[in-house]
Amino acid sequence: MVSRNVPLGLGARLLRTGSVYAFASLLQRGASFLLLPVYSRFLSPAQFGVVNLAEAVAAVLGTIAAFGLPGAMGRIYFRYPDNSVEQKKAVGATIRLMLGLSLGIGFVSVVAGPSVAGWIAPNFSVPFYPLVTLAVVAAVCVQILQIPLTIARSQERAGRFVSLSLSHFGISTAGILLLVVAMSWVAPGMLWARAVAAVLVAGVGLYSVRGWFLSHSSREHGWEAIRMAAPLLPHQLVAFVLTAGNRFFLEYYRTTEEVGLYSMAYSVGTVMSVVTATLMMTWSPVFFQKAREGDDGVKTLGEVGGALIGGLIVIASIGCTLGPLAVRWLLDARYAPAAPAVALVVGGYLFHGMFSMFQLSVMQHGRTKYLAPVTVFAAIGSLVANYFLVPKYGLVGSAWATLTAYVVEATLVFFLARRLFPVPYPLRRMGLWLAGFGVVFVISQLGLADINTLALGGAAVTLLAGAVGWSVRRHWRQHLASS
């Protein structure tokens, strides 16, 4: 029998820790969102597109440099008792391996990148030096920054996590305001600011975990990290296709201006990704800990996890209603064509959030190698859809392709998770909540006047939120009564 206080106690723990992560994430996203109108006036869609194309190239190189180790580090941390010698050895070996690979591959990328880029894509519209080079430096340092962030999250030291995250964001934002707004350096200024901020904060973060970094370990600990991380690398590379690959289709078939429009829609819609990331920072350590407690812990995961998914659905519904209106009301008029794509981006990140929750079951089972085929299948679908939709429908077609791929990805990993490490989520209620989200999404795509969209969408969101809240509360009351 599950203890009467487990779901409520776990919920309080999630709320306490998650509120700190949420504060930092929402502060960053809120500030970024408020700065978008400023950026939209100083950066044309084409210039914004150049920045995003450079960062898309760098994201591939940064992911390769990290070798999947950031994703494996959290799992390695929980394989051993807290504060044990073996834990320090295993985590220390992972840190040294990740740092060596990141710096080495990053250096090779900067040196050899211009020649390779000229051979692979001679007509690419963004020069490797200095724009892509700056983006590569930032991407590699951001991957290195994941070392102290992962340790802080695993130890549930939310304060350290938040201080590093906010420092990175604050320095980067200050640099952008100086170089882009004050000095009109436009695209190069934004890339310079992000590179400098990443270098500085990554250095401070590494110093904060020097005790882990300097711990002694054997070669076997390094191989353990490689075995855990290697299956994640293909998954993460293919995941890049889902998040940023469509920008290359837009650049090839359309223009850098349309890349910029899509990227702005993506920036607005990724408020949903911040919510998901905040949730996973709190939920993943709890998931692995409760999974070790047997049937009682797994039942609790289903109860609390179902409620969290309901919350994600409500937040996504709010984003679908308000996101397109925000583009039309707050941004420079040059970015108005991006509005229809925002709801599609929000919907995609809702399903990506569900994927992130379901994949924890796969990681708990230790079968991370199965994640790559799932993501490959979804990415192939995305590429095919982009190939057919982008030439004709542009940024909206690309957004539809991404949404479809995320739906496929979440569905596949859900069935895989149920086979490997089943968690008893409330599936019937989740299906009804998703149907409510579908209603809100359709309203956002009808092309109604803004006031009508706001009224109808607001009413639908209110009904959905009430249904989710009532259902979760009723279920927990029944559970407590039977305990």
List the chain pLDDT tens, one digit each, 483 residues.
Answer: 444 445 545 555 555 665 676 677 767 777 887 889 999 999 999 999 999 999 999 988 888 888 888 878 877 887 777 777 777 888 888 888 888 889 999 999 999 988 888 888 888 889 998 999 999 999 999 999 988 998 888 877 878 888 999 999 999 999 999 999 999 999 999 999 999 999 999 999 999 888 887 777 667 777 777 777 777 777 677 777 777 889 999 999 999 999 999 999 999 988 787 778 778 877 888 888 888 888 888 888 998 899 999 999 999 999 999 999 999 999 999 999 999 999 999 999 999 999 999 999 988 877 777 877 888 888 899 999 999 999 999 999 999 998 999 999 999 999 999 999 999 999 999 999 999 999 999 999 998 889 999 999 999 999 999 999 998 887 666 655 555
Domain boundary among 187, 214, 233: 233
Q: Are residues 117 and 218 in the same domain?
A: yes
Report if residue 128 sits inside a domain.
yes
Note the pLDDT tens digit of each residue in 422-445: 999 999 999 999 999 999 999 999
Report if residue 238 sits inside a domain.
no
Domain boundary among 211, 233, 255: 233
Domain count, the chain: 2
Report if residue 420 sits inside a domain.
yes
Report if residue 469 sits inside a domain.
yes
Q: Are residues 31 and 71 in the same domain?
A: no
Report if residue 141 sits inside a domain.
yes
Report if residue 458 sits inside a domain.
yes
The encoded tokens of residue 389 equal 């939709």
Q: Are residues 122 and 227 in the same domain?
A: yes
Domain boundary among 208, 233, 258: 233
Q: Are residues 28 and 111 in the same domain?
A: no
Q: Are residues 291 and 437 in the same domain?
A: yes
- Print the domain residue range for 108: 43-233
pLDDT for res 363: 85
Q: Are residues 6 and 130 in the same domain?
A: no
Report if residue 239 sits inside a domain.
no
Q: Are residues 219 and 248 in the same domain?
A: no
pLDDT for res 114: 85
Q: Are residues 198 and 98 in the same domain?
A: yes
Q: Are residues 27 and 57 in the same domain?
A: no
pLDDT for res 161: 87
Note the pLDDT tens digit of each residue in 17-67: 656 766 777 677 778 878 899 999 999 999 999 999 999 999 888 888 888
Q: Are residues 70 and 218 in the same domain?
A: yes
Q: Are residues 22 and 60 in the same domain?
A: no
Q: Are residues 154 and 38 in the same domain?
A: no
pLDDT for res 21: 67
Report if residue 27 sits inside a domain.
yes
